Structure 1
Amino acid sequence: MIEWLADYGLFLAKTATLVIALGVILTLIAHGRRKGQSGGGATLKVVELDERFQRRRRQLRLAAEPKASRRQLAKRLKKSGKQADKQSAKERADANTERVWVLDFNGDLKASGTPALAELVSLLLEEIRSGDEVVLRLQSGGGLVHSYGLAAAQLDRLRDAGARLTVCVDKVAASGGYMMACCANQLIAAPFAVIGSIGVVAQIPNVHRLLKKHDVDVELLTAGRYKRTLTVLGENSEEGRAKFLEDLASTHDLFKHYVGERRPGLDVESAATGEIWYGSQALAAGLVDAVGTSDAYLLEKQRQRARVLKVSLETRTGLIGRLGKGVDSRLEKGVDGVLQRVDDLRWQRR
């Protein structure tokens, strides 16, 4: 009997330990989700693109060097790299050094990246100094009017604050995407990037006749003459259809006015037909200011000795991911240094 009680007690202890452990894990998960929903789950990441470019350029030079002379080249590069680091440190300390802040926006139908964009804009407005530039690499085929109206308003905040805003379009900035792009002081598009589509579209299916055929009635009750103009289930009237078209035209006028204010040199009436242009055509039409890629533009900035800093918000995914994101930046830099030396040895041995 005593032995049975001892076994039973041990079983209860194990069970309690398991329940407590599961409780702790579930609490951590719930806390992480609440933190993510409140915006605290995203971490700010800043990468100096020039440093990454120079590191890869170093690897490329070693790879292209004859095997016999790679070791000597690696030593020279290491020595010159230290000198460059000292020079870079001096430039960082120089208040007159131009800083280019790079943001990315990949838009979907709902412009879901707007909250992150708004937070980054707020952060930059506190940090930007005279002579700085913000470069937005934009890609979007447009979407909901109110969603992209809010996204464009975030870029207007930069422009209203006097910041230099350059928008680079490598693939597409159409409809709501162009609404955002036109906020720029300088708009650059790749030769075959899709630009324009200044128009408004709406499509509503109607199954009223199908329901009527099966003796199904739909009661649509509204207070207000135009509370509902076109419906999916009910019978649409000519008055409702006319009002819907009127609303579309009004939205289109607002769109044209918005673009015209930000690009006064553009013939908006000719451009606002809903058509799209490719980058080279868009330049001739006045929709963009230059033809080129974001890569070429940022590389030129690096050659001009500007500091090019890519800024983003990264969402932590899962407990392990959150723990991983907590690694100290100095440790990360040390790891990068070790990896660079390993790469040097890899090329020397080939």
Structure 2
Amino acid sequence: MNEYLIFLLKTVTLISLLVFCVVLISRLRKQKKKAPPSSGIVVDDLGMLYAASAQRIKSHVITNNEQIAQVEANTPESKNNIFVLTFVDDSKAGSLESLKIEVSSILMVAQKGDQVIVKIKSHGGIIESYGCAAMQLKRLKDAAIHLTVSIDEVAASAAYLMASVADRIIASRFATIGSIGMISTQPNFHRLLEKIGVDYKILSSGDNKESLSMFGKPTEQQIDKLEKQLSSGHTLFKKAIAEHRPMIDVESVCQGDVWFGDTAIDVGLIDEIKLFDDLILEHICTSKILSVRFTKSTSVKSNLLMKLTNFIKPLING
């Protein structure tokens, strides 16, 4: 009887997995048909999007009908274009490749009087990646395109380095701003490896080639080297902030402290308390507002592997 129950459970499990795979493959095929055939730039008219949303509730509330009609008609009063980019990221600035293409595309079509708004939401990360992202935004300023950065939630550490390039920085009252500094953390397993009898060898050429390792015994020379690297990066960080935000007292502000938007404006980290949506509504009747984003298509095989991994991982972890 027990063997029969075990056999029955195995059979039910196998059938369930097969059904799951069939359903998943079917959904992925449908998504592939709907998805764009290749990678590329996607442009959405935010002005028309806002107007369409307003039109849907028009019959329920009192609205400014003339404003809605003006946006819907795209009247000649629209004197310039405003391109909107979004940078929502992890510690490695994975959106950097998309940002490069988006900025280059805008530079190829922008006209005199056009502007760019960049929405940033990031706690920061690797300074090399975010420094490169900051230089991408600087390309817009170098081309005499007015740049505004909008922070509704957070732009901290290296993400603020990126934001500081802008001509104007706006933020919500409770947005997290600042945390300007350098930090490095890593565990060290030297004593554990030593306890279980595992040797860890490092071979290198050059007196300064060897860095602090997770597995080797930390030396004073390695620790001193890392501290100098952090100090050098912090100095470069402060220099960039001072260049783009000369009104800031760099020595007092760039010590790792964090501010909310309400107090960040007092120390010069931002210029105005304002939400992104309010900024869009300011320009909705006088500018063509275009959301620009680069999308990278993924294959059905990649999507299948990713979804199977996400399905199996909780089972393995219990």
Smaller-chain TM-score range? 0.7 to 0.9
* TM-fit CA distance, 1:210: 1.6
**2:98/2:295 contact within 8 Å kept:** no
The reply to whether residue 236 of structure 1 matches residue 227 of structure 2 is no
Matches within 5 A, 1:138-177: 138-177=120-159
Given candidates 46, 49, 52, the residue that maps to 2:46 is 49
Amino acid at match of 2:144: G
Matches within 5 A, 1:88-127: 88=74, 90-91=76-77, 97-127=79-109
* TM-fit CA distance, 1:317: 4.3
Aligned to 2:147, the other structure's residue is in SS state: strand
**1:229/1:236 contact within 8 Å kept:** no
Aligned to 2:169, the other structure's residue is in SS state: strand
Match of 2:20 in 1: none
**2:48/2:72 contact within 8 Å kept:** no
In structure 1, C-alpha distance between the alignment counterparts of 2:108 and 2:295, rounded to whole Å: 20
* TM-fit CA distance, 1:84: 6.8
> What runs of 5+ residues in structure 2 fail to find an aligned partner?
1-28, 301-318
**1:143/1:176 contact within 8 Å kept:** yes
In structure 1, C-alpha distance between the alignment counterparts of 2:127 and 2:50, rounded to whole Å: 38
Matches within 5 A, 1:35-74: 41-64=38-61
Q: Which has the higher helix share?
A: 1
Amino acid at match of 1:42: S
In structure 1, C-alpha distance between the alignment counterparts of 2:109 and 2:71, rounded to whole Å: 26
Aligned to 1:307, the other structure's residue is in SS state: strand
Match of 1:313 in 2: 294
Aligned to 2:266, the other structure's residue is in SS state: helix
Q: 1:84 to 1:269 in 2, by over 3 A?
A: closer
* TM-fit CA distance, 1:217: 1.8
In structure 2, C-alpha distance between the alignment counterparts of 1:173 and 1:265, rounded to whole Å: 19
Q: 1:84 to 1:102 in 2, by over 3 A?
A: closer
The reply to whether residue 257 of structure 1 matches residue 239 of structure 2 is yes
Q: Which has the larger radius of gyration?
A: 1
**1:191/1:279 contact within 8 Å kept:** yes
**1:102/1:137 contact within 8 Å kept:** yes
Q: 1:84 to 1:163 in 2, by over 3 A?
A: closer
Structure 1, residues 157-207: CA drift from partner, whole Å, max 9, x if none? 111111100000000000111011001000001100000111111012111
* TM-fit CA distance, 1:98: 2.1
Amino acid at match of 1:48: D
**2:51/2:72 contact within 8 Å kept:** no
Matches within 5 A, 1:253-332: 253-303=235-285, 305-318=286-299
Given candidates 162, 165, 172, the residue that maps to 1:190 is 172
Query: What count of residue pairs does the alignment treat as equivalent?
Result: 265
* TM-fit CA distance, 1:128: 1.2
* TM-fit CA distance, 1:90: 3.5
Match of 2:18 in 1: none
> What runs of 5+ residues in structure 1 fail to find an aligned partner?
1-28, 66-76, 320-350
The reply to whether residue 225 of structure 1 matches residue 207 of structure 2 is yes
* Percent identity between the two aligned chains: 36
Structure 1, residues 285-327: CA drift from partner, whole Å, max 9, x if none? 1101111110011111114x221111112333457xxxxxxxx
Aligned to 1:147, the other structure's residue is in SS state: helix
Q: 1:209 to 1:130 in 2, by over 3 A?
A: same
RMSD between aligned residues: 2.4
Q: 1:227 to 1:291 in 2, by over 3 A?
A: same
* TM-fit CA distance, 1:213: 2.1
Amino acid at match of 1:289: D
Structure 1, residues 203-257: CA drift from partner, whole Å, max 9, x if none? 1211111222233222111111111231111111112111111111111111111
Aligned to 2:248, the other structure's residue is in SS state: coil
Match of 1:348 in 2: none
* TM-fit CA distance, 1:50: 1.6
Aligned to 2:152, the other structure's residue is in SS state: strand
Match of 1:336 in 2: none
Aligned to 1:259, the other structure's residue is in SS state: helix
Match of 2:184 in 1: 202
**1:107/1:177 contact within 8 Å kept:** no
